[in-house]
Structure 1
């Protein structure tokens, strides 16, 4: 069914240009005025890599740490045309990996869940947006999930490499070290810290020099902070609610401060539940860790874009699995647990996006509400799991 949905959409779009126009009509344009695919990669990632072939400076608009810029330098060393194909291969392979890893693991013996996950993935706006922009959000999701699964199997070094790599690209995956902390696995934490330090400090200092590295970090972090405050399309919880209630995201307002406190309370509640589940060694612990920590990000990361929710199909499918696992639960209660998950899936779908229109979908922060709907089910099931 997932393949059929993908083929149907491909037929409807007709071309990559049609796909770009359907998923982001207000995105960037090529010199001819047509929708431009892989917008962020073409405007920022690859040009930053090209710039580092000649200098040590940060490109204006590039929001990432130096390690990712150095990776782009390697990609650009193949030449402009080849680098586009190479990055397209990375984005595509990441998406395939995000589909396959849960299918051969968590969903292997759950055909209905596997089918639902495939449909959610190929028909979900975060994944389509990630492909449109040529973004790294799917790659980050795969690296984090892989790190959690490898750690659960005792592969500390491989886990540290993946998690350290994710942190070096986006920084916020640092929160996924929490399960290691709750398990008191100091060796795993030390290895992750070593990989992160090597990537984020030793590598850029060795290649760019200390002064250029400091300038790079300062410029990137300042740009991220400004962008998070000024963009109406940053789907950070307080931003979304403030815009909905007042028409603006006024950081200094009393409302915004109250919303930030409420967000931190939700972050704390997710962390407390995660600590309980990790300490208890529950079944599906890596997926519980992924679900609870990914669903924390909209309340923690100010620059949460549509593609940043690339983890949403995974968490939606996992929430459905845990809601259905207890066969002794009355059918009515199971239905109540599934209802918000189904609503979440509907809101994040391409179908709903097309129905309400891009402007309404984006300005109302629909993807944030889709993620928020998963928390009642995750908490209701999680707190009732017997240690």
Structure 2
């Protein structure tokens, strides 16, 4: 079945109803599990870290276990803070409430961020019919990364809303606002700062200027409130993310940790051994090769107009790949790329192989989570002992889900297909509502 026939089948009312039923059932199932999640990671780590910061305790160098015990929270393996000082400063007001109500307010904030992101991505979009927009909305809601963000009380949905907002701001030629939104996401999570490189390569100097000013202002406010010493203590948190216990986790899906785990598995060596410099060199080479591919794809668009925000989508995938640490819930950011890909595919402006690779990435994002929970936790499982090399391959399905997502965005950016200028609306679309010609997506 080709991509057009698959899309036509998925838009049928019965299929659409099934997708939304599954999405609502998954959300309802998550809600039944969430009442006890206020005491567990990742929310508990946010709360412990911000609470410690508010009470003059350095959360980056201090073991947070006693703090968690005092607050009735489960610290687990998250012994230190790893979030940026601006993030903890923004989270700090929630620590003036008890953890349970703070958790539900945090959940409401994340749900609002998801609603904003979905509206920005799907409402009044060129190339998306009403049915397709509702189909994509259902697929986003039922996706494993979205549900994992809610389950663990994560923060990637806020980053998703900021990145989607930046894209729409650039669409309206408000590059300054786009720069500020990327600066905000970078201050909160650090790895989105790579998107400033997108502005530079695209010569969006106004966006670069506003992003730089926004970052400088955020750093200044953070240092003014917390002090220079406490702000610089974030270095300890960043170094903790490079610890063997963190890097060796199979759900740490960024490129660097994947290279490290592969090196350790093939050589049987351990961190700190005499050959560890080879591992570090391999990570550097892999990172530079990936960034080089992204730059090549970006510079290949001679007119620098980035139709359908193809290279913007590629830079988002690149930022996750090159992050020193990345978890399964980071994959929610690929929703931006996949929506743009499907919208452009409506009139043949995307290759079929890019569409199918995006579908594979979406499926693997769910499969990898099921495989991880069913066969690999807690290690060593009986499956790992009986089938060690098969288990080793299955362990990397999360990385493969990210890799296929990157390949989909790379093909989306580089495949030469008929393109309609982004400033022109085809005759079958309208800027009001979700209407489009029925033969299109």
Aligned to 2:336: 314
On the 8 A contact 1:91/1:136 being kept in 2, the answer is yes
Distance in 1 (CA, whole Å) between partners of 2:356 and 2:57 is 52
Change (3 A) 1:38 1:196: farther
Aligned to 1:95: 114
On the 8 A contact 1:37/1:132 being kept in 2, the answer is no
**Gaps (5+ residues) in structure 1?**
21-33
Aligned to 1:24: none
Distance in 2 (CA, whole Å) between partners of 1:232 and 1:50 is 30
- Report the count of equivalent residues: 361
Aligned to 1:343: 360
On the 8 A contact 1:120/1:345 being kept in 2, the answer is no
Distance in 1 (CA, whole Å) between partners of 2:317 and 2:113 is 20
Change (3 A) 1:92 1:185: same
On the 8 A contact 2:361/2:402 being kept in 1, the answer is yes
On the 8 A contact 1:130/1:138 being kept in 2, the answer is yes
Distance in 2 (CA, whole Å) between partners of 1:163 and 1:206 is 22
* Correspondence for 2:323 among 301, 314, 318: 301
Distance in 2 (CA, whole Å) between partners of 1:375 and 1:356 is 21
Change (3 A) 1:164 1:335: closer
Instruction: Report the alpha carbon displacement of residue 53 of structure 1 after superposing the two structures with TM.
Output: 2.7
On the 8 A contact 2:156/2:330 being kept in 1, the answer is yes
Change (3 A) 1:277 1:359: farther
Distance in 1 (CA, whole Å) between partners of 2:368 and 2:398 is 11
Distance in 2 (CA, whole Å) between partners of 1:106 and 1:206 is 42
Instruction: Report the alpha carbon displacement of residue 102 of structure 1 after superposing the two structures with TM.
Output: 0.7
Distance in 2 (CA, whole Å) between partners of 1:273 and 1:175 is 16
On the 8 A contact 2:27/2:142 being kept in 1, the answer is no
Distance in 1 (CA, whole Å) between partners of 2:146 and 2:270 is 30
**Gaps (5+ residues) in structure 2?**
1-15, 64-79, 377-390, 422-441
On the 8 A contact 1:164/1:195 being kept in 2, the answer is yes
* Correspondence for 2:252 among 226, 234, 248: 234
Instruction: Report the alpha carbon displacement of residue 63 of structure 1 after superposing the two structures with TM.
Output: 0.4
Are positions 1:16 and 2:32 aligned together? yes
On the 8 A contact 1:236/1:304 being kept in 2, the answer is yes
On the 8 A contact 1:340/1:377 being kept in 2, the answer is yes
| Backbone CA RMSD of aligned residues | 3.3
Instruction: Report the alpha carbon displacement of residue 355 of structure 1 after superposing the two structures with TM.
Output: 7.0
Are positions 1:39 and 2:36 aligned together? no
On the 8 A contact 2:247/2:260 being kept in 1, the answer is no
Distance in 2 (CA, whole Å) between partners of 1:212 and 1:231 is 28
Are positions 1:364 and 2:395 aligned together? yes
TM-score by length of 2: 0.71
Aligned to 1:151: 170
On the 8 A contact 1:107/1:113 being kept in 2, the answer is no
Distance in 2 (CA, whole Å) between partners of 1:369 and 1:14 is 25
Distance in 1 (CA, whole Å) between partners of 2:131 and 2:200 is 34
- C-alpha offsets along residues 297-329 of structure 1, whole Å, 9 cap, x if unaligned? 3431121111121112332333344445327x9
Instruction: Report the alpha carbon displacement of residue 209 of structure 1 after superposing the two structures with TM.
Output: 1.9
Distance in 2 (CA, whole Å) between partners of 1:150 and 1:3 is 30
- C-alpha offsets along residues 100-142 of structure 1, whole Å, 9 cap, x if unaligned? 2111154673345424422331222211111111111121122
Instruction: Report the alpha carbon displacement of residue 259 of structure 1 after superposing the two structures with TM.
Output: 5.7
